[in-house]
Structure 1
Amino acid sequence: MKSVLIGLVATLAAPASGTFVVQCFSRLFDQRADPVISPGTAAGHVHTINGGNGFDFEMTYEDARASQCTTCNIKQDRLSNYWSPKLYFKAENGSFLDVPIIGDNDGGNLGGMAIYYLTRGGPDNDKLRAFPPNFRMVAGDSTKRSETDDFAGRAVTHKCVGGSGGPDPKHLPNEKCDQIRVQVTFPACWDGKNPDSDDHKSHVAYPEEGNYDGGRCPKSHPVHLVTLFYEVYYDTKGFKDMWYGDKQPFVFANGDATGYGYHGDFINGWEEATLQKGLDTCVDGVKDCAEKVFGEFNSQGDTQSCKKQAMIDEPVTGVLEALPGCNPVTYGPEPAASEKNCDAPSLMTVATPKMAGYVDVTSKGYKYIGCGLDNALERTLNDELLTGDDMTVEKCIDFCKGKGTKYAGIVYGSQCFCGGAVAEDRAPGTTSNCLMKCRGDESEVCGGADAISLYEACSGGACTNASKRNSRRLASLEAAKANAAS
């Protein structure tokens, strides 16, 4: 499995070069957040954000290094962050529907992205330099709405999976696709001095000749870095029967209906020596090179349990009347106006528990104790099982109460388990990945992937206190929301 997840791809054309892949199996959240372009405030449009949970609306290299988990599989890279704009479907009535990333399930943000670290030293076979501390950069131009044939223009492409074939266009595909793979290649030539610049681009450059992803660096930017390449698979198959009119119906969160304005952001969190060892070692296509350099990987369950709570009180998924932020849909060829961010709510600065979908069942003699870890091969609770597309928290509680068990838990939206004990390493606090809606009531949450919503039997004062405590938590959450909206 490990070699599949992060194995090196086939050796590339001479000079010898290789690739290791950071596979992000889920994402922290979808949010109007961008600490590079819009530090300290809501960003102009929604991004899908991957990487370490040290991510914040304003952050330093030290903040990134403080990450405790990551949505990606290389443990040594638990500190970097990768993000790009979210894709929406513009319906015929003018509303917008968020397009799921492959792997999403019931709104659980279980889809992510792949980040290829391309070790391409160019025609002179340059020694590649690891990203220095505090390094960050942006690839692409959010305002761009027309095609250009420079290297920056060639670096953004889209692939129509299940389409007619042919070269990957720079624009969003004008045909119906099973998936749209969006991809952006970052510049890999650095001035050797500045870890950032005012526009977050000038300190780096694309090659001056050859290829945009492996040519010769200009003298102004002589230091050759590893080349980052992002790819995200959007699941567009379910929208095939919803097309209308004479234009393709998809639009990125920045209002870009052309695709030319797709872009990516990167904040480095690597320990420099570790990444340098990878770049020096993983250059010849040896299959297990990355495993030997980076050691143990995070499991898919580990990455999917790493989440951030929303810090902006606004919907970014489901059916939306408008794109979040000030983002009219534009079709080009004129560039879009710079984002005014005319609807930027305050950030929620109060730490509040994630209570969306919480159900108070203390009247039934059970209290909610949190989200714990689960595993299909070794269940956290395994005494009894009830499944069904009509599953709700109340239905599971009634079932386990009838069996006389101390604990009740729900996973994957529809599976209820009962049991007499919860192991310490499965207890609440070990994950926050209970994000799936209950099949029988979408206002409730019923676990997640390798995550179980846990309820414990209580009586008398214990139930009363639990009810009061959760009421206070809910009140705190509502107060924080009101504060964010004011």
Structure 2
Amino acid sequence: MKSFTSLSVTMALLSGTTHAFWRMECHDRIALARIDPLVDPGTVSQHSHAIHGGNAFSMDVTYEQLRASECTSCLATDDKSAYWTPSMHFQYENGTTEVVRQVGGMLAYYLLFANSGEEIEAFPEGFRMLAGDTRLRNFTGPVPDPEKSLWTAKDKTQLLLGQKAIGMNCLNYAKDPEPSMYRHFLPDKDYMDANCVNGIRAEIFFPSCWNGDPDSDNHKDHMAYPDLVNGGTCPEGFEKRVPSLFFETIWDTYAFKDAKGQFVFANGDPTGYGYHGDFIMGWNVDTLQSGIEQCTNESGQLKDCPVFELQTEADCDKCKLSMPHVLSDDDCAGPADGLCGNVAIQYGPEYASALKPGNSEAPSAVPTPTTPVQAMPTLPYTTAKSAVTDQYGGGLSVANVNGIASQASEINAQAAAPTDDAPAAPAPTQPPAPEQPHGSIVSTTTYTSAGVVYEVAIEEVAVYVTVEAPAPQKRHAHHMHHRRDREHGLLGRY
């Protein structure tokens, strides 16, 4: 089992916000099973999930039951919460599937993003939420995402913010890391074989703006995204702030290099657009609130927070769910004929048909697509402006916007080749990437934290805005962060 040994982290993602955080390390899953008490309460779920957290998890689990868990697979012993996402599988050409190996369990970031004057509240007892849409098979915005400072109202709809909250990060530890949530779709296998030598990191950001209700009928309507996904302003009616959850799961896709077939999530999604995550709060509320108020060390490591009692990785790994008898015949790991639950693979771009919960039929040998295979856009490997957070690929990182803009000609209108019996979908329309302004450095300051020297440079940039009438010149100050790690000799740009 690999540990999550952090090199060093800075979370200067959002100007004018608080940015304390910690990473909840859940070193092994408690189960790979068709259980989902949010979407399919009381019955066998539509598809399999990689499940982490308290081992009292069940088809109709309550907060009180989670709190009574005998153990948790997460490092902090008080965290009996439930965290789950669809598992990733590889489907060979003959239809046989097997689960892709999970590397290092799962990380659940608790990011304490709030604007000046806002308070962050602990999740209350009974709190539940879901992020993502399992039936989504397309992306409705431009590719790549525009620079956040250029987002308009069209970029900030809750629908599009939720789609931007998904990331399929191509991992190659020999290179600088890609930014989180840069690529909102699963690359095709040829791309992964050539570039993602350390696997794919599936990411999902949860909304952090809250209306005060612990749950809603669809487990989503009581929450909303701030207008920059991982920060910004909350919409009217959702002024309360809770921790921003960010799930990361690394899948060892490179183990299937040169194998003929495709990667697909357990919900029958080969695109990644339908990736989703679920959370049921299982903390003691007072403990969680204390963590929010006191865990401000910039390392993000749990050991640097005095609030939490920690267990060993070995104890995390031993925590397992007692599988319900109704699932005793399931073989979600495989190799098996098709996906667990007889889930059909649906490619889109149309909205996928609903899956049937409780399906106990044997899977088909070769699941038949309900729609033609859609062509996926291509994004080149790019580097983030922030440095890698740990040696196993975990961590938030911010897009290197200038690098993305310079590669725009490579990005536009590229698509995967069609199969013999399926026409290629039209390549998505790509807007030209905006030219990034450059100015002069007007002042610099440095500070040291946890053995890392941070340099903050204030860059003055002239920005010209074209409107129907002549517009005056506007001037803005942009912050650039340079980092020099004394021990590792790393240099990253923020």
Unmatched runs of 5 consecutive residues or more in structure 2: 142-159, 362-494
Q: Give the aligned partner of residue 206 of structure 2.
A: 186
Q: Cα offset for 1:256?
A: 0.3
State whether structure 2 residue 93 is matched by structure 1 residue 92: yes
2:163 is matched with 153
- Report the CA distance shift for 1:275/1:257 in structure 2 as closer, same or farther (over 3 A): same
Cα offsets for 1:188-241 (capped at 9, x unmatched) = 01101x21111000011111x3x1011111121110111000000001111011
Q: Which residue of 2 aligns with 1:227?
A: 244
CA distance in 1, matches of 2:171, 2:130: 26
Matching residue of 2:354: 338
In 2, Cα distance between equivalents of 1:31 and 1:289: 28
Runs of 4+ off more than 4 Å? 3-8, 163-167, 286-290
Amino acid in structure 1 at the alignment position of 2:208: A
Aligned-residue sequence identity (percent) comes to: 38
CA positional deviation for 1:292: 3.7
**Structure with the higher helix share, 1 or 2:** 1
Q: How many residue pairs are counted as aligned between the two chains? A: 326
Residue 54 of structure 1 corresponds to which residue in structure 2?
A: 56
- Please report the TM-score for the alignment, with normalisation by the length of structure 1: 0.64
**Residue in 1 that maps onto 2:381:** none
Among 37, 40, 44, the residue aligned to 2:39: 37
Deviations 1:344-394 (A, max 9, x none): 48xxxxxxxxxxxxxxxxxxxxxxxxxxxxxxxxxxxxxxxxxxxxxxxxx
Kindly indicate whether residue 334 of structure 2 is the aligned counterpart of residue 318 of structure 1: yes
- Is 1:127 matched with 2:119? yes
1:116: Cα distance to partner?
0.3
- Mark the CA change 1:335 to 1:8 in structure 2 (over 3 Å): closer, same or farther: same
Aligned partner letter, 1:84: T
Q: Unaligned regions of 5+ residues in structure 1, if any?
A: 103-110, 346-486
- Please give the alpha-carbon distance, in whole angstroms, between the structure 1 residues aligned to 2:138 and 2:284: 38
Is the 1:32–1:46 Cα contact (8 Å) retained in structure 2?
Answer: yes
Determine the C-alpha separation between the residues in 2 that align with 1:158 and 1:326. Answer: 25
Q: 3-state DSSP class of the match of 1:171? A: coil
- Please point out which of 145, 161, 185 is paired with 1:171: 185
In structure 1, what is the equivalent of residue 233 of structure 2?
A: 216
> 2:107, 2:234 → 1: CA distance?
25
Please give the alpha-carbon distance, in whole angstroms, between the structure 1 residues aligned to 2:6 and 2:83. 17
SS in 2 for 1:277: helix
Q: 2:133 aligns to what?
A: 141
CA pair 139-10 structure 1, distance change in 2 beyond 3 A: same
TM-score, normalised on structure 2? 0.63
**2:258 is paired with a residue of what secondary structure?**
helix
Which of residues 87, 110, 114 is equivalent to 2:107? 114
Cα RMSD (Å): 2.2
Structure 2 counterpart of 1:202? 221
Residue in 1 aligned with 2:458? none
Equivalent AA in structure 1 for residue 111 of structure 2: L
Instruction: Output the CA distance in 2 between the equivalents of 1:205 and 1:86.
Output: 25
User: Of 298, 301, 310, which residue of structure 2 is paired with 1:285?
Assistant: 298
Aligned counterpart, 1:365: none
CA drift at 1:170: 0.5
- Check the 8 A contact 2:295/2:307 in 1, yes or no: no
Higher relative contact order (CA 8 A, sep 6+): 2
* Residue in 1 that maps onto 2:411: none
Q: Quote the offset at 1:291 in angstroms.
A: 3.6
Cα distance in 2 for partners of 1:219, 1:11 equals: 27
